[in-house]
A and B are shown apart, each in its own frame.
Chain A
Amino acid sequence: MFQIQVSTSINGDDTEFSCEADETLLDVLRDRLGMTGSKEGCGTGDCGACSVVVDGRLVCSCLMLGAEAQGREIETIEGMADGTELHPLQQKFLDHAALQCGVCTPGFLVAAKSLLERNDDPTEEEVRYWLAGNLCRCTGYDKIVRAVLDTAKDMRKPAKTKKPAAKKRVKA
C-alpha cells in the first residue's frame, strides 16, 4: 500500500517514519516507533490515555493522523523526565500514590503538565475540569487531583524568582 513519508520531532529528536494514510499518530508511536508509553484505552478520544502534546497543544493521539505530524513538535510521556531527573509531577504522583494500575498515568501526567504550563495556580475545580478528558477507573481521582495541586504549589515557589522554562513554549 502507498505510504506517506513523515519528518517530525519527537521529544526533541528528529524522527522520520512512513505510515499509511489512515494510520493514527498513536499507532505510529506505538507500533512503528516502539514508543508504547502512550496507551490506547478507547481509540475514540474518550479516555485520554493516549494524550500527547503537539506544538504546545494537548491532543488525543488516537484522533490525529500520523501523517499530520509532519513538521511538528511532539511531546510524549517518554520525554517528560529530563534524563534521570523526574518532572515534579512524576515525583508527586509517586509520593501521593496517585496511581494504582498505572495505565492511565502517562495520559494524566501529559495532560496535567499541559495544565500547569497554562495555569500555575489552578483551583481544585480547574484541575478536575481540565482532567475530565482523562479516565481513571482505579483511583477515584482523589490522589491524582491532590498530586497535581501539590505539584502546582511546589512549582510556584521557585517561580517567584525565575519563570519556569516550559512556559515560554506555550502560545496557544
Chain B
Amino acid sequence: MNFQPGKDTLKRNFKTVGTRTPRPDGLDKITGRAQFGADMTAPGMLWGLILRSPHAHARIRKIDTSKAEAVNGVHAVVTAADFGPCPDGVLDVRENIMAREKALYDGHAVAAVAATSRAAAKQALKLIKVDYEVLPHVTDVDEAMKPSAPVINNKLFTKGLDKTPRKPSNVAERFEFGHGDVEAGLKQADLVIERTFKTEATHQGYIEPHACLASMGSDGKGDIWCCTQGHFMVRQVCSALLGMDASALRVTASEIGGGFGGKTTVFIEPVALALSLKSNRPVKVVMSRSEVLRASGPTSSTSIDIKIGMNKDGTITAGDATLRYQGGAFPGSAVPYGAMAAFACYDLKAVRAVGYDVIANRPKQAAYRAPGAPMAAYAVESVVDELCKELDLDPLDVRLKNASSDGSKASYGPNFDVIGLRATLEAARAHPHYKAKLGRNQGRGVACGFWFNFGGETSVSLNVSADGTIGLSVGTPDIGGSRASIGNMAAEELGVPHDKVRCIIADTASLGYNDVTDGSRVTFASGLAAINAARDAIGKMCERAAGIWGIPVEAVTWEDGAARPSSPNAGKHEPLTLADIAAQAGATGGPISGHCEINAEGAGVSFATHLVDTEVDPETGYVKVLRYTVFQDAGKAVHPSYVEGQFQGGAVQGIGWALNEEYIYGKDGTLQNAGFLDYRIPVASDLPMIDAVIVEVPNPGHPYGVRGVGETSIVPPLAAISNSVSDAAGVRMTQLPMSPPRVLKALGRI
C-alpha cells in the first residue's frame, strides 16, 4: 500500500492535518524537563575538554602530554595519534576533529583530556605542550585563489578543469551549470548590468552548543547520547573513525537545541568516544560558545560576479554568474548548490553559473539552511532589482514575466515538476504590504528564493497498543516540531485523534537506518514513511477484521478509524474500530504494527517571495526593519503554526546575515568575535512581527502534497533586505553585512 507518486491521488479532506494541535514534546520543554545534549550524566562520568590551536596555520612539530597525564584526576589524554586508519569517506572528518600534521585554522582541535572534574581537566589542558611552527595563512576567498597565496594542502589539484593543473592550489574544484548561448543572449539585451558582491561567513547560531556523553566499554560496545541532526550519521562516522562495528555503537539523539545544518556532522563525538575508550569511563564533552564559533562549521564567505541582460519589456535575455566560496580548510563548500540555485527562479534561454570551491584557513564549513543558496540569490536578485530600477519596471511584474513554472527547464538542468513560484509572486502582488506607503529614508525590497528539498533513506515503525493507542518511532531528530507533524499524518491516515499517537525519536539500535534531518526532508520523508507504515498497519487490521467476520480481506475497507465491510454483499457487520481490533490483537494473531523502510524520493522543490521595508538612518547608518512578509509554498501545511515558525525563523536568520552577522578575522588569522556579544544575532528588539503567508501548491510526489519548508525561507532575505536598503539609501549595496559603517560608506558619509 505504499504511496506511488502519479498513481495515487492526493488526499484533500483532512481532519487532523492542517490543524494546530499541541506538540508532543511541548510540556517537557516549557517545564525544563526536556533533556538536551548537555543534560545527561552517567555514574562515574568524566569531563572532557579540548585543546585548540591558537594559530590559523601551523605545523605541529611535537605534542607533549606527559605533564597533563600526571595531573590528579586525569584519566585520559588523546591526540590525532589515537585515531588510526579510516575509510577515505571520513578522512577529512578525522583530520578536522583532531589536527594531525598541521593545525589548519584558529580553533582546530589538537588534543583532549578527560578528568574527574572540569577544574582538573582545565589544569591539564594548560600543561599540554604543543610545539608549533607557524605558517603563512589566508582567510579571504579572493586572496586564497591568488597564485601567490600560501598553499594550504599541497596535495590539492583543482578538479573540474579541462586539464588537471600541475601545481597544487587552494582551488579544490570548478563546477559549471547552464544551457544556451549566454554571450549571444547578453548581446540581445537592451541593458546589461554587471556587478561583484561579497558576503561574510555566518554561523548557524543554534543556542545549544554541541554536547555529548560517550561511554565505551572494554568489550568494544559503546553508547553515545548527543544533540545531532542525525544519530545514524553519528553512529556511522564514529564507528568508522574508531574501527568499531557500526552495530556495536548505539547512538541516542537527545532533544536538540537548534541545528540549521550545523549538526549534520560530528566534532566532539568521536573525541569523547576515544577518551572513554582510553579511560574506560563515560565521558561528557560540551563545547563552549567560543568553541562553537571557532571550531564548528560556519558558512562560506563568498565573492560573486553577476551579469544579467534584460530587454525594455522586462524579459531577461541571459544570466551569467561566477561564484567563489571558501569552505574552510577542507574541500566541500556549498558552491555547487549556490551555482545550481542562483538562477533557479528564472526560466531562461541562456544561463551559466560557474562555481569555485576554495579552501582557506578557517573552520570547515557546515551546511546552513539551504546551503550555498542565500548568497547566490543575494547576488542575482540584487542585479535583477537594479535592472528593474534602471528600466523603470515593477520588480514583481518582471519576476512574474520570467518566472520558472511547471515543466520549464531549470537553470541547473532538469525540467521542473509542479511548482509554486508564481503563486507566491501573485500572493505578494495582491498583499496590502506591497501597496503600503513608505516614508522618508524608507525603502522596499523584493526577492525570490529556491531550494531543492530532499527525501532520502527513512525507517518508521508504528505500534498499535492493546488499548488502541499508537506508538510511532521515527529516526529523524525533531528540530522544529516534526514529531507533531509526523504524528498528525499517522493519525490522519489511521483515522484516530492526534492525541492517541505518541511520536518519539528512536535510537539507532531500535529502528532501521535514517538519513540525517536535513534538506527540509523530515516532514516530507518521515511523514511519507509514517503514512505508509499506517497503511501497512491498516492492512493488517483489515485482515484481522476479515478473520473475525469470516469474510475475505478484499471485502473489508478502512474508513474513519474502523474496519467496515466494503459493500452490502460482504454481509452485515458492525464496524470494528482500531481500538476494538487492538483489544483482540493477541487472540487474533498477535501484536499489530506497521513498518516502512524506504528511500523516499519525490521531494518537491520549494520557492518563496519575500517583501521587506527598511528605514536607513543617514546619520548613523543603522538599518531598521519596519515590515516583513514571507510568501512561501508549503505544498500542504501539515501543522500551520510550525510552518509559519519555519518561515519566520528563516527570515530572521536572513536578517541577521544581511545586517549584523559576520566572522571577523584579525591580521594573524584568528577569529576576533567568538562570542554572542560581538557575533551579534538578531534580538527581539531589532525586529518587527514577521508576517507569514502560507501558499499551498501540492507536491504530486507526496500523498498529502507536502513539500519541505525549512530551508527556502533563508534564501530570499539577504537580497530582499539589500534591495530595500538600496531603495531607501538611493545607492546599490554590494556587500554583506550592511553594518552601520558600511552603510555610511555607501552613503559617502565616511
A–B touch (CB < 8 A): the answer is: yes
Question: Chain A interface (Cβ within 8 Å of chain B)?
Answer: 1, 20, 30-31, 34-44, 46-47, 49, 76-78, 80-81, 86, 90, 93-97, 99-106, 109, 124-125, 127-129, 131-146
The answer to whether B687 touches A106 (Cβ under 8 A) is: no
Kindly report which residue of chain B lies nearest to residue A106, judged by CB atoms.
B32
Decide if B29 touches A135 in the complex (CB within 8 Å). no
Instruction: Flag if B684 contacts A141 (CB, 8 Å).
Output: yes
Q: Is the CB of A1 within 8 A of B119?
A: yes
Give the residues in chain B near A138, CB-CB below 8 Å: 258, 480, 645, 649
A97 touching B31 by the CB < 8 A rule? no
A102 to B479, CA, bound (A): 9
- Across the interface, do A128 and B258 meet the contact criterion of CB distance under 8 Å? no
Most buried by B among A102, A104, A136: A102
Known: A37-B31, A100-B642. A140 touches B676 (CB 8 A): no
Name the A residues within 8 Å of B259 (CB-CB).
101
Contact B32 A132 (CB under 8 A): no
Q: A20-B119, A38-B32, A128-B685 are in contact. List 17 more A-B contacts (CB 8 A).
A: A39-B38, A41-B207, A44-B676, A81-B31, A90-B31, A94-B27, A100-B480, A101-B208, A102-B25, A102-B29, A134-B683, A135-B207, A135-B683, A140-B649, A140-B651, A141-B652, A141-B682
Residues of B121-180 contacting chain A, CB below 8 A: none
Interface string of B240-272 (1 = CB under 8 A from A): 000000000000000111111000000000000
Distance of A42 Cα from B257 Cα, bound (Å): 13
Please give, as numbers and ranges, the residues of chain A lying within 8 Å of B32 by CB-CB distance. 35-38, 76-78, 80, 106
- How far, in whole Å, are A77 and B39 apart by their CA atoms in the complex? 15
Asked whether any CB of chain A lies closer than 8 Å to the CB of B205, the reply is yes
**A80 CA / B690 CA spacing, docked (Å):** 29
Chain B residues with CB below 8 A from A141, complex form: 652, 682-684, 687
Contact B22 A101 (CB under 8 A): no
Q: Do A134 and B30 have beta carbons less than 8 Å apart?
A: no
Cβ-closest chain A residue relative to B677: A46
Question: Does residue B34 face the partner (Cβ distance < 8 Å to A)?
Answer: yes
Given contacts A41-B289, A100-B649, A132 and B685 within 8 Å (CB-CB): yes
Residues of A within 8 A of B23 (CB): 94, 97
Let me know if A109 and B30 touch, CB within 8 A: yes
Residues of A within 8 A of B650 (CB): 140
| Nearest CB of A to B131, in Å | 30
Give every chain B residue within 8 A of A109 (Cβ-Cβ). 30
Nearest B residue to A133 via CB reads B683
Tell which of B33, B39, B208 has the most Cβ of chain A within 10 Å.
Answer: B208
CB distance from B370 to the nearest CB of A (A): 16
Name the interface residues of B613-647: CB closer than 8 Å to any CB of A.
641-642, 644-645
Report the interface size class on chain B: 35 or more
Give B16-56 interface residues, CB cut-off 8 Å to A: 20, 22-23, 25-27, 29-36, 38-39, 41
B299 to chain A minimum Cβ distance, whole angstroms, is: 14
User: Which residues of chain B are within 8 angstroms of A139 by Cβ–Cβ distance?
Assistant: 645, 648-649, 652
Interface pair A97/B645, CB less than 8 Å apart: yes
Bound CA–CA A128/B685 (angstroms):
5
Contacts of A76 in B (CB 8 A): 32
The residue in B34, B255, B644, B687 that gathers the most chain A C-beta atoms within 10 A of its C-beta is: B34
CB <8 Å contact, A132 and B684: yes
B656-697 interface (Cβ within 8 A of A): 675-677, 681-687, 689-690, 692
CA distance A122 to B39 in the complex (A): 34
Given A94-B27, A101-B479, A102-B29, residue A137 in contact with residue B36 (CB < 8 A): no
B479 x A100 contact (CB < 8 A): yes
Are the CB atoms of A136 and B207 closer together than 8 Å?
yes
Which residues of chain A are near B652, meaning CB under 8 Å? 139-141
Of B31, B207, B479, the contact of A104 (CB 8 Å cutoff): B207
Instruction: Specify which chain B residues have a CB less than 8 angstroms from the CB of A140 in the assembled complex.
Output: 645, 648-653, 682, 687, 690
Task: Tell me if B206 is interfacial: C-beta within 8 Å of chain A.
Answer: yes
With known contacts A100-B481, A102-B257, A145-B689, A94–B30 Cβ distance under 8 A: yes
Name which residue of chain A comes closest to B22, CB basis.
A94
Given A39-B36, A131-B684, CB of A143 within 8 Å of CB of B648: yes
- In the complex, chain B residues 438-455 whose Cβ is within 8 Å of any chain A Cβ: none
18 A-B pairs, CB-CB below 8 angstroms?
Answer: A39-B38, A40-B38, A41-B257, A44-B677, A86-B31, A90-B30, A97-B641, A101-B206, A104-B257, A128-B685, A137-B205, A137-B649, A138-B258, A141-B652, A141-B684, A141-B687, A143-B648, A145-B684
Of residues 166 through 224 on chain B, the ones whose CB sits less than 8 Å from some CB of chain A are: 204-209
